[in-house]
């Protein structure tokens, strides 16, 4: 009935639970708007688990619902499609999983699922109830979402911001690592401003989105290895600031090596300090954190520091220009005209004809993408497979 009476609710029928969950997660990533995917019983939930796992790793706020096939008055008899503790199956890969034990608990359970999913750091949630509850009639209060949104738009500790700004301004070679919290906070322009103020090179460790304009002269490319030591440039950063990158550690050595001073700014506080030594932890919404960092750096910059930043920016630009020239040499590969077409040629050709604001979904593993020049500030965007 709600689908008839409330045209703002958009219903999409999908052929299978797996693609349905992927479509819902993709909608959230592309639009930034809430979505719920509804599955058929425990079997439907199991079919969607791969996408729930991806949402967990990517920190996508996907709300998943599937009913319990067993009715409330016959539960526990090992009936058709019945499994004990259905909601606990996905517990390790969800922020919140719950079974509503009465029909009148359904509205509160749904509210809590959306609240948990959309409270940073984001993540999927799962809710369920016995199938016979869907036929019951209950009265409930409709509560606007903003009345149960905790509004975790957190500013960083000002004392820690001052310490971090001093480290960045005094650094011989600062390096910025960008991450998906920048994309989610729509803060790419602020990251660009901070990098430009300090003439600071920028890289990205494996993430879902492209979080910095890849045509910018301060962009030195994505990290190809498992440690910042594998960067071609810069080779000797003495201060590293992470802005919004969760860091997926896939090797025995930490991504940020021992030695450089490490500033870690992100809202995902749980994973901060678990692997890497942190000189300055900055738990914050990265949009607000970048605002405060820019203001603090502006207060410390002197003419001599500004000159040093300009000289450093020129050095970074020389490297980025050289790297772009070298990447363009891919067309001289001896396999360029090979049939079947090689992956490098395929991505290069797609980049020639893709729309300037296209979203490229990359699930081709280690295949390199050539000439796309992703840009979260109005250009082509990237959705990379981060989970599996």
Q: Is residue 55 part of a domain?
A: yes
Is 206 found in the same domain as 246?
A: yes
Mean pLDDT by 10 residues, the chain (388 residues): 80 92 94 92 92 95 90 76 85 94 92 95 94 88 85 92 98 97 96 98 94 96 86 94 92 90 95 91 97 98 97 97 92 94 92 93 83 92 83
R_g over Cα of the chain: 24
Q: Is residue 105 part of a domain?
A: yes
Is this model's pTM higher than 0.85 or not? yes
Domain boundary among 329, 357, 382: 329
Q: Hey, is 251 helix, strand or coil?
A: coil
Per-residue pLDDT at 64:
96
Q: List the structure tokens of 78.
A: 């090992």
Q: Is residue 384 part of a domain?
A: no
Q: Is residue 373 part of a domain?
A: no
Whichever domain contains 103, its CATH number is 3.40.50.970
The domain of 316 spans 158-329
Q: Is residue 296 part of a domain?
A: yes
Is 103 found in the same domain as 51?
A: yes
- Cis before 203 (ω within 30): no
Is 165 found in the same domain as 142?
A: no
Beta-carbon contacts of 140 under 8 Å, excluding residues fewer than 6 positions away, are 104, 106, 107
- Cis before 121 (ω within 30): yes
Q: Are 56 and 18 in contact (CB under 8 A)?
A: no
Is 250 found in the same domain as 116?
A: no
Distances (CA, A) of 232 to 222, 227, 236, 237, 322: 10, 11, 10, 12, 12
Is 98 found in the same domain as 200?
A: no
Per-residue pLDDT at 181:
96
Is 240 found in the same domain as 133?
A: no
Is 127 found in the same domain as 194?
A: no
Q: Is residue 379 part of a domain?
A: no
Interior CA angle at 120 toward 115 and 123, to 5°? 70
Is 219 found in the same domain as 114?
A: no
Count of structural domains within the chain:
2
DSSP 44-95: HHHHHHHHHHHHHHHT---EEEE-BSS-TTTTTS--TT--TTGGGTTGGG-S
Is 315 found in the same domain as 198?
A: yes
Residues 34 and 115: their CA atoms lie apart, in Å, by 11
């Amino acid at each position: 009935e709600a689908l008839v009476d409330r045209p703002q609710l958009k219903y999409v029928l999908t052929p299978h639970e797996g693609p349905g969950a992927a479509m819902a997660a993709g909608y959230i990533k592309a639009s930034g708007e809430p979505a719920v995917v509804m599955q058929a019983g425990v079997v439907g939930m199991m079919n969607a688990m791969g996408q729930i796992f991806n949402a967990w790793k990517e920190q996508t706020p996907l709300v998943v619902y599937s009913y319990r096939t067993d009715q409330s008055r016959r539960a526990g008899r090992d009936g058709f499609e019945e499994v004990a503790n259905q909601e606990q199956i996905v517990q390790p890969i969800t922020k919140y999983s719950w079974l509503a034990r009465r029909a009148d608990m359904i509205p509160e359970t749904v509210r809590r699922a959306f609240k948990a999913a959309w409270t940073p750091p984001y993540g999927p949630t799962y809710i369920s109830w016995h199938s016979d509850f869907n036929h019951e009639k209950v009265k409930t209060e409709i509560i606007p979402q903003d009345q149960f949104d905790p509004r975790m738009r957190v500013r960083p500790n000002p004392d820690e911001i001052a310490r971090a700004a001093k480290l960045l301004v005094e650094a011989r070679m600062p390096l910025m690592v960008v991450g998906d919290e920048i994309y989610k906070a729509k803060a790419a322009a602020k990251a660009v401003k901070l990098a430009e103020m300090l003439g600071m090179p920028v890289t990205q460790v494996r993430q879902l989105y492209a979080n910095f304009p890849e045509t910018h002269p301060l962009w030195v490319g994505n990290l190809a290895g498992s440690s910042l030591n594998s960067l071609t440039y810069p080779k000797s950063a003495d201060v590293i600031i992470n802005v919004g990158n969760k860091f997926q550690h896939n090797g025995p050595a930490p991504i940020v090596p021992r030695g450089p001073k490490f500033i870690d700014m992100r809202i995902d506080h749980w994973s901060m300090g678990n692997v890497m030594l942190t000189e300055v932890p900055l738990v914050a919404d990265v949009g607000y954190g970048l605002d405060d960092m820019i203001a603090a750096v502006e207060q410390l910059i002197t003419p001599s520091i500004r000159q040093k930043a300009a000289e450093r920016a020129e050095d970074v630009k020389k490297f980025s220009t050289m790297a772009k020239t070298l990447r363009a040499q891919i067309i001289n590969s001896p396999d360029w005209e090979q049939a079947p077409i090689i992956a490098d040629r395929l991505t290069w050709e797609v980049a020639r004809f893709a729309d300037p604001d296209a979203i490229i979904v990359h699930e081709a593993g280690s295949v390199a993408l050539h000439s796309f020049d992703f840009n979260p500030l109005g250009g082509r965007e990237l959705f990379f497979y981060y989970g599996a």
